Amino acid sequence: MPGKNLSREEAQQRAAILSVDSYRVHLDVTSAVDPAAATFSSTTTIAFRSSAPGASTFVDLLAPAVRSVTLNGHALDPAAVFDGVRITLAGLAEQNLLVVEADCAYSRTGEGMHRFVDPVDGETYLYTHYEPADARRVFATFEQPDLKAPFGFTVTAPAAWDVYNNAVHEDVTAEGDTRVWQFAATRPISTYLTAVVAGPYHVERDHYRRELADGSTLEIPLAATCRRSLAPYFDADEIFTVTKQGLDYFHQEFDFPYPFGKYDQCFVPEYNIGAMENPGCVTFREDFVFRSKVTEASYEGRANVILHEMAHMWFGDLVTMKWWDDLWLKESFADFMGSFSQIEATKYQSAWITFANRRKAWAYRQDQFPTTHPITADIRDLEDAKLNFDGITYAKGASVLKQLVAYVGRDAFFEGVRQYFKRHAYGNTVLGDLLGALEQTSGRDLTAWSESWLQTAGVNSLTPQITTDAEGRITEFAVVQDGATARPHRIAIGCYDRDTVGGLVRTHRVELDVHGTRTVVPELAGLPRPALVLLNDDDLTYCKVRFDGHSLETLRSGLGEIADGLARALAWSAVWNLTRDGLMPARDYLALVLRFAGQESDIGVLQSLHQQVKAALDVYADPAWRSEGARLLADCALRELRAAAPGSDHQLAWARFLAQTAREQEQFQLLRGLLAGTARIDGLDVDQDLRWLFWLALASSGEAGTEELDAELAADNTASGRQNLTECLAALPTAEAKAAAWSAVIDSDELPNALVEAQITGFNQPGQRELTAGYAERYFALLEDIWSERSIEIAMRIVGGFFPRYQISEQTLAAAEAWLAEHSSAAPALRRLVLECHDDLARALRAQSCDRS
């Protein structure tokens, strides 16, 4: 394989002849405090065996320089065996000892050893992130998940720093102005799960204790860290509360004691993802340290992520997929268990509503791309793996697991999981290993279920087909299933009618299995036709829900009156899917939001509606009507902001939405007045994060300039402040601002990942189509260079972020099609990204046609 990639076949060949006994890794990061220092010292000692003495293999390493390579006591010439990506090892013995001394690079992309300097106090912070294959940026490694081994780390760091690792530290020795941290060996884990976090982090500590069934006591030290400048905002007590609730729950259900000793949770800067399940040393994006007021949905979301990562300690860390084909064995389960445990163990009781409205929307979108794939995907190489951390692997997989629990029964599901952990602890598995355990405990043959749900791509639509007699009673009720493959669905059908006060409440519920393209439901025959029929009530399966005409008219006049929060969220999800599919005009969806969003009690659903209706306006609405729709949305945001309860989450959500939709001078003047303190809305605290949202609204509309933005930075010269300033400057509606943002990302690779994201987001404003139209041709011309020259993380951001998504025209669609046709040999992962962007564009054109008609 060329470049930095690694194929599945190569990994299989290597695993067939190798087993790894241990790693010892010594990192010297004392140079990190010197901004001019680009590298750190890394020494790796690997003890491994070969079942084929005399064979050759390779060890992975991405490093600027290798100083020495010693195999079984023999020095190898680095210039001869290291090509910048791999070290070739020839003439293996049965027992082998490899020592590699290298200079590895500090990262600004969030891959490998990321270095960050806090603008508040000048302190330097380090952390690692590897998934799927960036441990090789920090130490020499057999970079594949099925070559597990114990890891022992030694880290030399500045004396004022603390260092965190997967294991407890056994010794800390002072040596002049440094300290040497010696960590215990871990249990066998995969390379991508190792972690080092180092710097002057603020730390809070707690302790978890549990009496186990065998009479022993489990003790788990807990720690939570963040940068010192964020310490005043760090609500560690709430984090520890959720952590303990999760540990209680998973011990109860999994019956396998937490296997990794301590439990550190480190909140780190410029993190590329939400969090990473490094055993004993979980890393989170520091956006979860809330420095300004956030809604309850944000706390619920953080709790979900904490529990998601904790579930990984068993699903993924204790038992790990053999190769990335079976990524679902960890991510689908963690996504499911995050919501499942949240409902059963914490105060956050809206998890399934959030899942139905947010997570599944992600899955539905991904599953309708031409690049859709089964939950158990065909992962040919590492680039494929990187792109498959997607809505199918996470949210569709979790949806399918929710249905599986209903199918085999909760008790049988968890008993199968317990047996799976005990049978495969510290090992690697494939699809059949888990299904086999579940078949044993449930007594069900899961072969057909697996073929339909795990091994087949695509989403089905379920539509009610109802006939009635002259008195309005149902004579036949059927569920019609559309889709490339008809699947078995366990669903509930809810019948809703008005109660005495006008609310829509469920009057009948039928639960059944849907098979084939048409399933008759005799239980509903003879009932009066209800005002609303909701298929997949209670959200038992994964499907797109359609409505009969009568039900759709009920929703137009009464969606907000559905009394049950989950049912209402499902209705919102269904009408959004109709809009995306070009079956409901965008202006009709907007009308539903205008009429009923103010009544929505669930704050998470409300914030989803804000995101979706803005997308409907910007992408799916007829351009000739867009201005009118924008006026209606902005007026709605201002009206609901003034009407919201003072100090409420809803008030904050509407204030944020006003910042996204403001377009009239009256609205801009209110934002300016709130910033200056000359205007007031009772209960609304215009804190720092809200200030930046207001400034972004003013900047992107040409209502604020660089001097005012620089003055705001002076008052908030933090990492967050600098990211916000960067986005605001890139969002200014001038040709100069667009050119500067484009150049900052394309013409240099010096920007850190967080500022790359800020530049791209500011550049691509939906209301500035004329300013960015000229960049489309340049975008397509540079794609292959970007993919070959940048790290995959940054390349993905550029390819997806700079795609001319708001140039919604046949011309742009043709340009994307031409690039795909002319670059058939481009990297498959790059082609997948462009193809998905092309598909989004084609969908937008279809939706706009629907809105015009």
Sequential DSSP letters for 753-807: HHHHHHHHHHH--GGGHHHHGGGHHHHHHHHHHHHHHS-HHHHHHHHHHSS-TT-
Among 592, 582, 467, which Cα is nearest to 527's?
A: 467
Among 186, 47, 188, 35, which Cα is nearest to 108's?
A: 35
Can 793 be counted among the known catalytic residues? no
Structure tokens at 518: 């048409």
Please state, in angstroms and rounded to a whole number, the distance separating the CA atoms of residues 596 and 594. 6
Please state, in angstroms and rounded to a whole number, the distance separating the CA atoms of residues 336 and 359. 10
The one-letter amino acid at 19: S
Among 222, 299, 311, 303, which Cα is nearest to 266's?
A: 222
- CA dihedral for 716, 717, 723, 724, sign (positive or negative): positive
Beta-carbon contacts of residue 407 (< 8 Å; ≥ 6 apart): 444, 449, 490
Q: What is the 3-state secondary structure (H, E, C) of 138-174?
A: CCCECCCCCCCECEEEEEEEECCCEEEECCCEEEEEE
**Does residue 394 register a pLDDT over 90?**
yes
Long-range contacts of 71-75 (CB under 8 A, 24+ apart): 71/96, 71/97, 71/98, 72/96, 72/97, 72/98, 73/97
Phi, psi of 156 (to 5 degrees): -95, 125
pLDDT (tens digit, 9 = 90+) per residue, 643-670? 999 999 999 999 999 999 999 999 999 9
Beta-carbon contacts of residue 617 (< 8 Å; ≥ 6 apart): 586, 590, 626, 629, 630, 633
Alpha helices in 281-327 (DSSP H): 296-312
- Residue 530 DSSP symbol: P
**Does residue 4 register a pLDDT over 90?**
no
Counting Cα atoms < 13 Å in the Cβ hemisphere of 415 gives 10
Please state, in angstroms and rounded to a whole number, the distance separating the CA atoms of residues 514 and 462. 9
Structure tokens at 76: 């190898």
CA 198 to chain centre: 25
- Give 643: exposed, middle or buried? Use CB within 10 Å, 0-12, 13-18, 19+: exposed
Among 337, 279, 287, 282, which Cα is nearest to 308's?
A: 337
Confidence band, pLDDT 50/70/90 cuts, at residue 2:
very low
Please state, in angstroms and rounded to a whole number, the distance separating the CA atoms of residues 620 and 617. 6
Among 607, 610, 666, 611, which Cα is nearest to 635's?
A: 666
SS3 337: helix
User: For the stretch 192-222, what's the b/e string if a residue is b when 16 or more beta carbons lie within 10 angstroms of its beta carbon?
Assistant: bbbbbbbbbbbbbebebebeeeeeeeeebeb
* Strands 263-268, 217-226: pairing kind: parallel
Confidence band, pLDDT 50/70/90 cuts, at residue 562:
very high
Task: Share the mean pLDDT of the chain.
Answer: 96
- Residue 3 DSSP symbol: T
Residue in the block written with tokens 């400034």: 695
Question: Which residue out of 286, 309, 640, 703 is catalytically annotated?
Answer: 309
Question: Across residues 668-697, what is the average pLDDT?
Answer: 97
- Give 443: exposed, middle or buried? Use CB within 10 Å, 0-12, 13-18, 19+: exposed
Query: What's the Cα-to-Cα distance from 329 to each of 312, 342, 390, 597, rounded to whole Å?
Result: 10, 20, 14, 37
Confidence band, pLDDT 50/70/90 cuts, at residue 484:
confident
Structure tokens at 360: 């599944």
Structure tokens at 252: 């109860």
Q: What is the 3-state secondary structure (H, E, C) of 684-746?
A: CCCCHHHHHHHHHHHHHCCCCCHHHHHHHHHHCCCHHHHHHHHHHHHHCCCHHHHHHHHHHHH
Strand order in the sheet with 518-520: 518-520, 474-482, 461-468, 544-545
pLDDT (tens digit, 9 = 90+) per residue, 463-479? 999 999 999 999 999 99
SS3 176: coil
Say if CB 648 and CB 684 are below 8 A apart. no
Say if CB 234 and CB 163 are below 8 A apart. no
320, containing H or E segment: strand 320-321
Say if CB 108 and CB 719 are below 8 A apart. no
The one-letter amino acid at 568: R
Among 452, 764, 459, which Cα is nearest to 581's?
A: 459
Please state, in angstroms and rounded to a whole number, the distance separating the CA atoms of residues 556 and 552. 6
Within 10 A of 757 (CB to CB), how many other CB atoms are there?
A: 20
Say if CB 365 and CB 836 are below 8 A apart. no
Sequential DSSP letters for 635-662: HHHHHHHHHSPTT-HHHHHHHHHHHHH-
Say if CB 760 and CB 795 are below 8 A apart. no
Among 826, 353, 317, which Cα is nearest to 567's?
A: 353
- Give 676: exposed, middle or buried? Use CB within 10 Å, 0-12, 13-18, 19+: exposed
**Does residue 365 register a pLDDT over 80?**
yes
78 preceded by a cis bond (ω within 30 of 0): no
pTM as predicted: 0.96
pLDDT (tens digit, 9 = 90+) per residue, 179-222? 999 999 999 999 999 999 999 999 999 999 999 888 899 999 99
**Does residue 679 register a pLDDT over 50?**
yes
Please state, in angstroms and rounded to a whole number, the distance separating the CA atoms of residues 280 and 212. 20
Q: What is the pLDDT of residue 3?
A: 57
Sequential DSSP letters for 382-395: HHHHHHTSSTIIII
SS3 549: helix
Kindly state the percentage of the chain with pLDDT values over 70.
Answer: 100
pLDDT (tens digit, 9 = 90+) per residue, 597-638? 999 999 999 999 999 999 999 999 999 999 999 999 999 999
Sequential DSSP letters for 577-592: HHHHTTSS-HHHHHHH
Beta-carbon contacts of residue 716 (< 8 Å; ≥ 6 apart): 688, 691, 692, 724
Q: What is the pLDDT of residue 1?
A: 31
Please state, in angstroms and rounded to a whole number, the distance separating the CA atoms of residues 717 and 229. 11
pLDDT (tens digit, 9 = 90+) per residue, 843-853? 999 999 999 99
Phi, psi of 425 (to 5 degrees): -55, 130
Within 10 A of 77 (CB to CB), how many other CB atoms are there?
A: 10
**Does residue 142 register a pLDDT over 60?**
yes
Question: Across residues 221-248, what is the average pLDDT?
Answer: 98
Structure tokens at 245: 């609730």
Kindly state the percentage of the chain with pLDDT values over 90.
Answer: 96
- Give 400: exposed, middle or buried? Use CB within 10 Å, 0-12, 13-18, 19+: buried
